[in-house]
Amino acid sequence: MAGEIRSDGAEAIGVAAHMGHPDEIDGLVAATITAFGRIDVVVNNAATNPVVAPLLEMPDDLLPKLFAVNVFGPLRLARLAAADMANRKAGAILNIASRAALAPEATLGPYAASKAALVTLSKVMAIEWAPLGVRVNTIAPGPFATTMVAELFGQEAYRRALLDSTAQRRIAEPDEIVGAALFLCGADATFVTGAVLAVDGGMVP
């Protein structure tokens, strides 16, 4: 990815970091500031959902793993970035949650809970960091054709129910979220903070 960006004439670095490993998040922030001198925008897009199952069948160790990657990691990255942004009284943080955070469904309870936690934390970030000049918003995506959900979407019954619950009756391509992300992180959204934008093709609650 970084190579593709550089080939287009822009500057980029690649830093390996696992969102469940705090020391690697610290290294990511440090490397970014060393390379570019500042952080203007953070997009917390990393997530995991290794198990799809009813709560009675949920492995005992699932919640700690989910919350480490989906909540604690993004929170740590946001805090470190906000501290740097505060030096200039400017910056934007975008947390990617899920439509499941707003309308949870069976077999996705732990994932929905982790994303709901991220939505709540994002609103608190927006309130606490507004005096620092930092805006914090959230996107709650609906069905997007990503690698993480490929197996789930491959189940015909689930896929059909999903399509039937969406006004546009389709699953989006990943690049269809770009416009919303650019808006929330850009100059056209300077008076937008604490918002949760559903990008879901018109899903019925």
Amino acid at 1: M
Dihedral sign for Cα 158, 112, 169, 154, please: negative
Task: Identify the CA nearest to 65 among candidates 79, 47, 43.
Answer: 47
pLDDT tens per residue across all 205 residues of the chain = 788 888 888 999 999 999 999 999 999 999 999 999 999 999 999 999 988 899 999 999 999 999 999 999 999 999 999 999 999 999 999 999 999 999 998 999 999 999 999 999 999 999 999 999 999 999 999 988 888 777 777 788 878 888 888 999 998 999 999 999 999 999 999 999 999 999 999 987 6
Residue-range definition of the domain harbouring residue 116: 39-199
**DSSP category for residue 102:** H
Supply the residues annotated as catalytic. Answer: 111
Number of domains in the chain: 1
Q: Give residue for tokens 């699953």.
A: 171
Rounded to 5°, the CA angle 85-102-25 comes to 35
On whether residue 59 sits in a domain, the answer given is: yes
On whether residue 191 sits in a domain, the answer given is: yes
On whether residue 3 sits in a domain, the answer given is: no
On whether residue 29 sits in a domain, the answer given is: no
Q: How far apart are CA 11 and CA 27, in angstroms?
A: 19
On whether residue 137 sits in a domain, the answer given is: yes
Amino acid at 10: A
On whether residue 10 sits in a domain, the answer given is: no
Report the first-to-last Cα separation within the chain, whole angstroms: 36
> What is the layout of strands, in order, in the sheet containing 91-96?
41-44, 91-96, 134-141, 196-199
On whether residue 18 sits in a domain, the answer given is: no
Question: What's the CATH code of the domain at 171?
Answer: 3.40.50.720
Give 170's contacts (C-beta < 8 A, 6+ positions apart). 163, 201
Length of the chain (residues): 205
144: its two tokens: 């997007």
pTM of the shown model: 0.93
Which pLDDT does position 205 carry in this prediction? 67
Which pLDDT does position 160 carry in this prediction? 86
On whether residue 54 sits in a domain, the answer given is: yes
Alpha-helical (H) ranges within the chain are 2-7, 22-36, 62-67, 73-85, 99-102, 109-129, 150-153, 156-164, 178-185
Which pLDDT does position 41 carry in this prediction? 98
